[in-house]
Structure 1
Amino acid sequence: MSGEYDVSRGTGNANTSVSHFGGKLFAHSESDLPYTIKLGSDGDIITLRRHEEYGEPLEQMTAHPKVDRETGEAFAYRHNIQRPYLTYFRINSDGIKQPEVKIFSKKQASLVHDFAITKNYAIFPDSQIVIKPAEIIKGNQPALVDPKKVPKLGIIPRYAEDEKEMWWVEVPGYNCMHTVNAWEEDGGDTIVMVATNLLSVEHFMDHQELVHSSMERLEINVKAKTVARRPISTRCLDFGVINPAYVGKKTRYMYAAILTDEPKFSGVVKLDLSLPTAESGDCTVASRFYGSGCYGGEPCFVPREPDNPTAEEDDGYIVNYVFNENTQESKFIVMDAKSPTLEIVAIVKLPQRVPYGFHGMFVRECDLQKL
């Protein structure tokens, strides 16, 4: 019945990811604005409200904001089905949204699911997965793959006030879904980004089992405006994570989930990004499989000493939920992030199943108490 559903009050289910910045805990879905949440005394998640300070009632925000732990800032964007197809903005350390930068140089609506930041830049992928709302009238899905489109990367200064300094570079064959991290080298002349590339992207909408998620290292020459890239693992990987203190900084280690059958991940690997990959095509230095019939989701890195500035980058734990389809049991497992086998150091049996999900994060108890 007309009037029963008010889209201005929200359209998403806030089940894609969570983030913590500006003294608040958020649940995200890129089809809507974020929702502030908190944990009750019994551990239940309590939804407080739709956070409309980050957009107008009918707008939305990425499910993958980037938080700089050093400055306390968060960086975010929204992609749209009408011009401007991309809008970039910053949220200061107090959680207050700063003026938007509308990106009119993006010529077409496309799926921009994730992005990356460095000390001086923000990097946006423009993939072959385009959005055409008119297809709905024909009875088709609005998102589709355009084989004729050449993918691009858009680079804009991190603190840009308008889009005049943004530039785009073509990257044939590169369709990014999730970024892991990005940083600058050579005095800022090179941007390094680690992210996934969807190979056989033409199957993305209908036969995802035929898509290989390749983890790649991209080097963007800021002066020449060119991109070189290479795979850093031979496995099908996704949900790459790092020590969160290194967002936007040079990273040596990352961890990623081994994709077996979406949304099932059969294990986790550790990659050493300082290793060359010319010969083997792989810089994996540790791996852990969960066992027959056991699957997990996105791993999370938890620093052993989060307030110790001299702690080694990989000094911490990898945590994950794992479901055993044979016994119908869910477990929370803790792995030693420095171990050459990602040794399991603790297992907590859970009273009920944790369904296969999307993204997660670890928040310290002292931070939860401040919410």
Structure 2
Amino acid sequence: MTTTSPTTPSASDAPAPHLAGNFAPVAEELTAYDLPVTGTVPPELSGWFLRNGPNPRDAVTPHWFFGDGMVHGLRLEGGRAVSYRNRWVRTSTFTDGVPPRDAQGRRNLSAGVANTHVVRHAGRTLALVESSFPYEIDCRPGHELETLGVHDFGGRLTTAMTAHPKTCPTTGELHFFGYGGSKPPYLTYHRADADGELVISRPIDVTAHTMMHDFHLTERHVIFMDLPMVFDAHRRPGMPYRWDPEYGARLGVLRRDDPHGEARWLPIDPCYVFHALNAHDDGDQRIVLHVSRYPDFTGRQPSCLWRWTIDLASGTVAEEQLDDQYCEFPRVDDRLVGQRARFGHATVAEAPGTGHIPGALLRYDLETGAVVRHDFGPGRTPGEAAFAPADDRPGGPGWLLTYVYDATTDTSDLVVLDAEDISADPVATVHLPQRVPYGFHGNWLPDPAR
């Protein structure tokens, strides 16, 4: 059933790479029920698989990162693929054309595209983009994926919110930050308690506005990445940042038990990191971080898995490349965020302008260094995979869920893999009623325990 068809994309003889192939947006919002499945959907899976990404309504945008947010959701329950739906996030920019800055150049944090991630905390499902406030979407039965409105933590949030907040599995707290602006403070650290109340907001001293997409959380520390992608307003309307290795690169360590204390900065080699895999404390003086690291931001070299080991006693960081395979969108079992996790996984897929890259998922054993690969076959490309647990043991068995695009048929599937045996054939393949364009991040949101 078609519920909405706002605008049909205009044709172009030579679309930009981020508007071509499966980067191109879809024009319709669909709802479909009782989807066909090859294999068997694990009956333990009861909930939503949601993934966000850019889907410009008018099929025109100067950069892949700037398209209107669209959430694609698949409902699994009782061994069935119950329904699929995709919905634009109705931000004020989408519905009313509200710009992110007013005539005087002041930021409107309620305006934005909410196109990067979708997370759940304290009973709220939030669509996120790092340049503005979150928008809450509705996952209740009968109201699936409708936009409820902007969420600013009861007026307490006064900065933008990162698209990569982290929930502490021990305390239930949500840790996040906001960055940007034309004057200090360029970075602000925030913490919300398990009930969703914003309880800490404090500036972090950095020397410039740099593009800070992700960060790290451990049981005792928060670690920021101040990397040499420096704001440059003259580069608009594209990405308003430039690669400046002379700026340097450093990690800022803040103790969680002293959230208003001073961040300690440690230098590293210039690089760029969009996404952190995980981090953990290793004794009293060491912190271990795993990242998908680019040597620069020129687009000429891919990202690979690296390990950074912070030695607080010496004030140094050991940097080690762990693999030479391209990887992005690294994830762990979310119940082990900030704790020692043996396994992580990452995606191998093309980005706009890179050309075709054989799509795969990688499973890393962070203790032994072993890597297991699942190749999806010719023309089949996965997105980010979310971990869905099979039981209540963090780091235990479960499944990886990802949307996979098939270029030969111009269709998409949801593929379910056994996380402990990802090289095996899929456990289930759910065939979707339309393709899902390449996008960014999402989550498996299990139904609350009854």
Alignment TM-score, normalising by the size of structure 2: 0.72
Counterparts of 1:113 and 1:62 in 2: how far apart (Å)?
A: 7
- 2:335 pairs with 1:248: no
Specify which structure has the bigger relative contact order, considering alpha-carbon pairs within 8 angstroms and separated by 6 or more residues. 2
* Corresponding residue number in structure 2 for 1:199: 295
CA distance in 1, matches of 2:375, 2:405: 13
Q: Say whether the 8 Å CA contact 2:130–2:160 is kept in structure 1.
A: yes
In the other structure, the counterpart of 1:274 is: 367
Q: Structure 2 residue aligned with 1:301, among 387, 395, 404?
A: 387
Q: CA deviation at 1:330?
A: 1.1
Q: Which residue of 2 aligns with 1:289?
A: 375
Residue 280 of structure 1: aligned partner: none
Equivalent position of 1:37 in the other structure: 137
Aligned to 1:66: 166
Contact 2:271 2:294 (8 Å CA) reproduced: yes
SS of 1:130's equivalent? strand
Q: Percent identity?
A: 28
Matches within 5 A, 1:139-288: 142-164=240-262, 166-185=263-282, 187-201=283-297, 203=298, 208=299, 210-262=300-352, 266-275=359-368, 283-288=369-374
Q: 1:265 to 1:21 in 2, by over 3 A?
A: farther
Give me the whole-angstrom Cα distance separating, in 2, the residues matched to 1:63 and 1:55. Answer: 19
Per-residue CA deviations over 1:166-205 (Å, capped at 9, x if unaligned) read 11011013322111110011x221000001211242x1xx
SS in 2 for 1:256: strand
Question: 1:342 Cα deviation (Å)?
Answer: 4.5
Distance in 2 between residues matched to 1:83 and 1:342, nearest whole Å: 51
The residue that corresponds to 1:25 in the other structure is 125
Q: Which moved more, 1:192-201 or 1:89-98?
A: 192-201
Counterpart secondary structure, 1:113: coil
Q: CA deviation at 1:54?
A: 6.9
User: Offset of 1:245 from its aligned partner?
Assistant: 0.7
Report the CA distance between 1:259 and its aligned residue. Answer: 3.2
1:64 Cα shift?
A: 0.3
Secondary structure in 2 matching 1:76: strand
- Aligned counterparts of 1:15 and 1:48: Cα–Cα separation in 2: 16
Q: Does 1:89 align with 2:89?
A: no
Q: SS of the counterpart of 2:293? A: strand
8 Å CA contact retained: 1:314, 1:337: no
Whether the 8 Å contact between 1:117 and 1:183 is mirrored in structure 2 is: yes
The 8 Å contact of residues 360 and 382 in structure 2, kept in 1 or not, is answered as yes
Structure 1 Cα separation of the partners of residues 409 and 422 of structure 2: 28
Q: Distance in 1 between matches of 2:302 and 2:135?
A: 33
Q: For 1:43-54, list aligned pairs within 5 A.
A: 44-53=144-153
Q: SS where residue 245 of structure 1 aligns?
A: helix
Q: 2:207 aligns with which of 82, 100, 107?
A: 107
Name the CA distance, whole Å, in 2 between partners of 1:160 and 1:299: 34
Between the aligned partners of 1:97 and 1:224, the Cα distance in structure 2 is 35
- The DSSP-based 3-state class of the residue aligned with 2:273 is coil
Distance 1:18 1:342, change over 3 A: farther
Whichever residue aligns with residue 275 of structure 2, its letter is H
Q: Which amino acid aligns with 1:321?
A: Y
- Contact 2:272–2:296, Cα closer than 8 Å, also in 1: no
* Match in the other structure for 1:278: none
Contact 1:33 1:55 survives alignment (8 Å) = no
Q: Whole-Å Cα distance in 2 between the matches of residues 223 and 249 of structure 1?
A: 21
Query: 2:380 touches 2:407 (CA, 8 Å); kept in 1?
Result: yes
- 1:126-162 CA deviation, whole Å, 9 max, x = no partner? 11101133x258x885311113121111111124342
Once residues 122 and 267 of structure 1 are traced to their aligned partners in structure 2, the CA distance between those partners, rounded to angstroms, is 31
Residues 153, 54 of structure 1: CA spacing in aligned structure 2 closer, same or farther, 3 A cutoff? farther
SS in 2 for 1:356: coil
Amino acid paired to 2:223? I
1:109/1:132 contact within 8 Å kept: no
Runs (5+) with no aligned partner, structure 1: 276-282
Cα separation, 1, equivalents of 2:146 and 2:193: 25
Question: Would you say the 8 A contact 1:297–1:356 is kept in 2?
Answer: yes
Return the alpha-carbon distance in structure 1 between the equivalents of residues 427 and 259 of structure 2: 48
- 1:140 and 1:14 mapped to 2: Cα distance? 18
Gap change, CA 1:199 and 1:314, over 3 Å in 2? farther
Paired amino acid for 1:292: P
Q: Alpha carbons of 1:99 and 1:288: their partners in 2 closer, same or farther (altered >3 Å)?
A: same
Structure 2: which 5+ residue stretches go unaligned? 1-95, 101-107
1:190 partner letter: R
Report the counterpart of residue 365 of structure 1 in structure 2. Answer: 447
Q: Is the 8 A contact 1:103 1:163 kept in 2?
A: no
Alpha-carbon distance between aligned partners in 1 of 2:143 and 2:294, rounded to the nearest angstrom: 37
For 1:265 and 1:33, locate their aligned partners in 2 and report how far apart those are by CA, in whole Å.
36
Deviations 1:86-109 (A, max 9, x none): 1001100000001312112x1111
